[in-house]
Structure 1
């Protein structure tokens, strides 16, 4: 479950620039992901064909109301960068009283999610195949109970740190869409990135670390224990879970 990132290392600004016809053109900011090549399996391709009409969501559809999307007023979880989707499907299956929206840019991952959701009979799950920053623009203020970001790309090299998705601006974007008391839950297996997350979020206005400033939480039971995580632990890697609550 990693965010992928763009191959262009040149900073890009979000400035609005007038075009020759007088209309504004919008430059995209620095990406935290890169679209990696990958072929769809037959199972993924079939799941996309069958499930996308009911479970897929498009940027072109515009702003959403989670209550209308799912047809009920429920606890709504947004997961950014769900990878191949197994753990998100497990969470949706384990909590049918909640509703889940996933965001993933990698098409085989989306196909995998839909395949697993179909096999599990999960209906409380929707997905975008888009940049999470663009998706967040469509989410109403104070409408999400939880935002999950598990094992994002840590961008190990210092020159790439600007690509890390967890930054001051991102924190305030999530603050807008989270309900009062809503939770931003991060997990990483790269300790320097956990320190970065803590530094950014402890300084972010409107949040409180539920474990105390600079502290991590024990892995919560609702986050599935994945093969990816087990492989890392077998190699001596740690995993750090970090949770912040929106207080204002």
Structure 2
């Protein structure tokens, strides 16, 4: 009798990981800088998985006790490198599955002299559930996640009730979850999910939050604006509701 095939994940992921080639500059950055910036993530079966019971100690990783801001889907790193450069007293973690984007982030961070940034090549919900200690993050950022706008693909969207549960676990009470998207239907889904999520309360009045002034304008935002799509922000505060933890 043969052994059963390994189960990679029990839920769809919000990305399709392609093995595109990196540029020479990205290859050099990956080779030269990953020892400085990249976290060694214990794996389960999948290449971007995070093993259970693999929580890191932020004080050990960053060498100090400070606020921790986590960006989920950091892309090329424009937003988080800018933020880390302008807030040296805060620690930052960029979570991304695409190696070329991580390499570009390392290169730009090194050029800017940023040392308060670390990167995780991993599936974001597993980072929130297994890698970060409970209540360790002061802020979580989700800026312009893939909208998966075709109806048959919406199950791949990141912001679902299961994501809200692990986000609530990772955030400290009073911490903030900041989101932005240029797809109205996804913005409405995000709002519905988080309005109903235990452990979260709106940190805005009216329909949408004010634009977060700590978010630099990236290519995704410019692309949406050029297409005539409105940018919508949401901000939720982690409450002390024990049911979410």
Give the structure-2-normalised TM-score.
Answer: 0.87
Say whether the 8 Å CA contact 1:57–1:126 is kept in structure 2: yes
1:54-133 correspondence to structure 2 within 5 Å: 54-60=36-42, 62-133=54-125
Name stretches of at least 5 consecutive residues in structure 2 with no aligned partner.
44-53, 241-245
What is the rounded CA distance, in whole Å, between the counterparts of 1:140 and 1:149 in structure 2? 19
2:12 counterpart (21, 25, 30): 30
Match of 1:211 in 2: 204
Partner-residue secondary structure (3-state), 1:230: helix
Change (3 A) 1:163 1:57: same
Paired residue total: 227
2:160 counterpart (143, 152, 167): 167
Match of 1:225 in 2: 217
Partner-residue secondary structure (3-state), 2:42: helix
Bigger shift: 106-115 or 157-166? Answer: 157-166
- Displacement after TM superposition at 1:50 (Å): 1.4
- Displacement after TM superposition at 1:175 (Å): 0.5
Give the structure-1-normalised TM-score.
Answer: 0.86
What is the rounded CA distance, in whole Å, between the counterparts of 2:24 and 2:236 in structure 1? 40
Q: Deviations over 1:102-155 (max 9, x none)?
A: 111111101110111111110000001121122221111111000111100111
Say whether the 8 Å CA contact 1:198–1:215 is kept in structure 2: no
Q: Deviations over 1:185-243 (max 9, x none)?
A: 1110101000000000000011111114x731121211111233123213322111111
What is the rounded CA distance, in whole Å, between the counterparts of 1:226 and 1:218 in structure 2? 17
Partner-residue secondary structure (3-state), 2:162: helix
Q: Spell out structure 1 runs of 4+ moving beyond 6 A.
A: none
What is the rounded CA distance, in whole Å, between the counterparts of 1:230 and 1:162 in structure 2? 26
Q: Is 1:156–2:149 an aligned residue pair? A: yes
Name stretches of at least 5 consecutive residues in structure 1 with no aligned partner.
1-18
Say whether the 8 Å CA contact 1:215–1:242 is kept in structure 2: no
